[in-house]
């Protein structure tokens, strides 16, 4: 997870923030810095929805126990952060599990990790209904 910076919070008139940093974070960083990052964004934009996403289940998730453990730890940390914020009374925050994000075959990934064009198309198709739903609220 990148060091929390004011750049994200400086976006003028955002419609929604999508916290899709989990693939490039570690579980301990989400626990250490996730709330700080959220607070920077929330303080600047108290009424803007925030959508928390999980790490996708990569092509090798099911058969590579090390990757599965890493992804599961990061997703658990993201979920814990979200639940903590909800318990603190935060409104307009939403959470999406990564199930079905890019399909069940390996065609959505290159190198088992990065999205292919097909993977990006599937990702866009997957997230679009949620973005429309949360933007209306």
Burial class (CB in 10 A: 0-12, 13-18, 19+), 55: buried
Intervals of the chain under pLDDT 50 = 1-2
Is 54 within 8 Å of 82 (Cβ atoms)?
no
Q: Which two tokens stand for residue 47?
A: 């009424």
Which H or E run includes 132?
Answer: helix 117-136
Tell me whether residue 81 is in a domain: yes
pLDDT value, residue 6: 61
Is 38 within 8 Å of 9 (Cβ atoms)?
no
The domain containing residue 25 runs over which residues?
6-136
pLDDT value, residue 64: 79
Tell me whether residue 126 is in a domain: yes
Tell me whether residue 34 is in a domain: yes
Tell me whether residue 1 is in a domain: no
Tell me whether residue 48 is in a domain: yes
Tell me whether residue 83 is in a domain: yes
Tell me whether residue 32 is in a domain: yes
pLDDT in tens, 32-72: 999 999 999 999 999 999 999 998 887 777 787 998 899 99
Backbone angles phi and psi of 96, in degrees to 5: -125, 125
pTM: 0.88
Number of structural domains the chain divides into:
1
Rounded CA Rg of the chain: 15
pLDDT value, residue 109: 78
CATH code for position 71: 3.40.50.1110
Tell me whether residue 110 is in a domain: yes
Sign of the CA dihedral with 69 first, then 71, 73, and 75 last? negative
Mind giving me the DSSP string for 29-60? Answer: HHHHHHHHHHHHHHHH-TTS-EEEEPPP--TT
Strands (E) across the chain are located at 17-19, 50-53, 93-96, 109-110, 114-115
């Amino acid at each position: 997870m990148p060091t929390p910076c004011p750049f994200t919070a400086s976006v003028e008139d955002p419609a929604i923030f999508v916290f899709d940093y989990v693939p490039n974070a570690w579980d301990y960083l989400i626990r250490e810095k996730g709330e700080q990052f959220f607070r920077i964004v929330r303080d600047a934009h108290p009424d803007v929805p925030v959508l928390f996403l999980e790490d996708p289940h990569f092509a090798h998730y099911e058969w590579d126990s090390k990757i599965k453990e890493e992804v599961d730890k990061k997703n658990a940390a993201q979920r814990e952060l979200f639940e903590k914020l909800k318990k603190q009374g935060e409104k307009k925050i939403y959470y999406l599990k990564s199930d079905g994000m890019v399909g069940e075959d390996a065609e959505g990934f290159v190198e088992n990790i990065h999205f292919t064009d097909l993977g990006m198309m599937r990702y866009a198709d997957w997230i679009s209904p949620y973005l429309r739903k949360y933007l209306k609220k």
